[in-house]
Homo-oligomer: A and B are copies of this chain.
């Protein structure tokens, strides 16, 4: 995910921010503050906006209230994930994926690879995570990839400045409500956490003016830099909530994990914060591999790292995470058309555009991507193509179509070089979560790396018609040049090469008139060098360019796989009508961790050969299954697998031993059919490969109602 769009954006001027954020009068914008590191906000869990329901108002697939705590309990109990190093007390922001979480992730990655890499012939690469300092210095991460933290000088405790300001102001607003006798609307869970952290929730009434100020600050808490946060803390007397002691002013904390490569500690390095840089550095080789043909895309799937100051929000803000990133390289001329745009132009997206957000609204408009590009709302076809393809991918893995939207970045939220940027956001109980960022990054990255290294990260293509350029050219008499300038020859020559066209024109007149020219050559003599006309000719000529050289622009769709996995779990979760405690995860069969559960009625020896026969048959057709021959009741065993999201179940009962038929159960409806091995295998294969649905199978095979599996 292009986490940098904010971190690397041009430092926005106060006037530009105004429409987005009405600064309270006390908040001075000293010029200096804008030259310090702006806060880093990528991958941020968005604040709850007015349009986002609270967790308790969220509804499941079946329209019932969503309960985050019971989903989280299920996910831990069934080992979708687990805090890493749990037996050592854990490390915040680090999680391990257990078998179902790992299989779910692998299946999503596999579909991603088919949907993007295979379908579009992308060039997948696998670059190292260890990255030397120089690379990330050039990309801007060393200087700008930071959050603001402040320290309690007494206890050594460290706070993320924006989080602290937010928590304290929120708790004061709640105290104000309590003092005024209003109902304080907080989620229980949140309240518990906050009470523990922010001990000074006391019912104190605030002035109306102060309430408005607080609300304005909270609405735009993501927009302050360190100096501004420091001013807020001074002005509103924000201290360490635990001991009321004053904190040191916010300082920038770089979010990259640092290490050193090799034994002598003289090669500092970092763990990459994104997979993109490796792709940019390999651009020239990838173009060569693609036989110089443009456009093309590279892709990379791998872990990235971010040393969050104080990770919260479970799987949504972690220190080590899986990304899948595409860098689509395109000619900046010709409107960035896409050859297959026609195939997706009628795909409808829910777009939350910049203007709506500027007006403080969150109204989305259902728009065909073709229309959005035609009207200029989405900058170009290639960007639009990827927005549509991202949505198709998300739907394929089972995301709820009512819970996707594409939010356009505000002008001051994007990197200064970015042309347009849209986030695919998924609705969860934490609010709308940025899961895929789609940015048009222009030629920024290739340009900075080329400038730093001198490597030609450009495309050179023959022009159909040669380009004629009229220009002033300087020719040097090399033979006389050396003897005259000696060791300074090269420097003087470079200075002449660097002369602008305007200056050359002026100098050509000077040369004619004076018989010599005087140019600035810093570092040689007194910085002025005289070149007599014997040594130089300046003439206007026509140059013919047969080759066009350009730096491609990059369209970057960047996926936070862990976030998508978590959002998918929330959106797939519901509980059975009869029993709130019986959770179900309705993953589509393609991404479900296990496809089939095989359940012998009991541990009776007669069932064993059938278990093996079924397992082998499924393995043969490449479908993952698991056997549950534990002593628990059939109902309990199916419940367990509903929680694991296993879409199908086969029961082996005494009837099976008699006539070699089995029952097949559908997770979502709990309906069952009964048939022989081949029919069962065919139905499973059809459902898992997406060729048919349960309703097709249920219409085709005899229904079975003999046995209670609830």
Contact = CB atoms under 8 A, between A and B. Distances in A.
A601 interface: no
A96 B262 contact: no
Interface in A79-124: 79, 82, 84-88, 91-92, 94-99, 101-103, 105-106, 113-114, 118-119, 121, 123-124
B319 A261 contact: yes
B624 A455 contact: no
Nearest to A292: B630
Choose among A85, A132, A261, A267 the residue with the greatest number of B CB atoms under 10 Å from its CB.
A85
Contacts of A129: 129, 303, 320
A278 B260 CA distance: 24
A269 B94 CA distance: 12
Nearest to A86: B281
Contacts of A127: 84, 96-97
Nearest to A131: B85
A293 to B, nearest CB: 8
Contacts of A85: 131-132, 135, 281
Contacts of A282: 82, 86, 96, 98
A76 to B, nearest CB: 9
Interface stretch (A9-17, A59-67, A283-291, A352-360): A283-291
Interface string A288-326: 110101000000000101010110000000011000000
A487 to B, nearest CB: 27
A288 B278 CA distance: 40
Contacts of A79: 285-286, 288-289
A113 B105 CA distance: 14
A548 interface: no
A126 interface: yes
Contacts of A269: 91
Contacts of A92: 262
B87 A128 contact: no
Contacts of A125: 96-99, 102
B126 A102 contact: yes
A289 B99 contact: yes
A87 B453 contact: yes
B156 A84 contact: no
A638 interface: no
Contacts of A453: 87-88
A628 to B, nearest CB: 7
B261 A259 contact: no
Contacts of A88: 132, 134-135, 281, 452-453
A253 interface: yes
Contact of A264 (B156, B260, B261, B626): B156
B105 A126 contact: yes
A598 to B, nearest CB: 11
B253 A263 contact: yes
Interface string A593-631: 000000000000000000000000001001010111010
Contacts of A97: 125-127
A677 interface: no
Count of chain copies: 2
Contacts of A286: 79, 98-99
B123 A99 contact: yes
Given A128-B84, A259-B258, A289-B79, A267 B99 contact: no
A94 B128 contact: yes
A158 interface: yes
Contacts of A132: 85, 88, 91
A393 interface: no
A597 to B, nearest CB: 12
A130 interface: yes
Interface in A450-470: 452-453, 455, 457
Given A98-B285, A128-B320, A453-B87, A121 B626 contact: yes
Contacts of A293: 630
Contacts of A124: 99, 102-103, 106
A449 interface: yes
B278 A130 contact: no
A271 interface: yes
Choose among A113, A127, A627 the residue with the greatest number of B CB atoms under 10 Å from its CB.
A127
A95 B291 CA distance: 22
Given A85-B132, A85-B135, A261 B95 contact: no
Interface of A: 78-79, 82, 84-88, 91-92, 94-99, 101-103, 105-106, 113-114, 118-119, 121, 123-132, 134-135, 149, 156, 158, 253, 257-264, 267, 269, 271, 278, 281-282, 284-286, 288-289, 291, 293, 303, 305, 307, 309-310, 319-320, 449, 452-453, 455, 457, 619, 622, 624, 626-628, 630
Given A106-B124, A263-B310, 8 more contacts: A78-B289, A79-B289, A88-B135, A97-B126, A114-B622, A130-B305, A262-B307, A262-B309
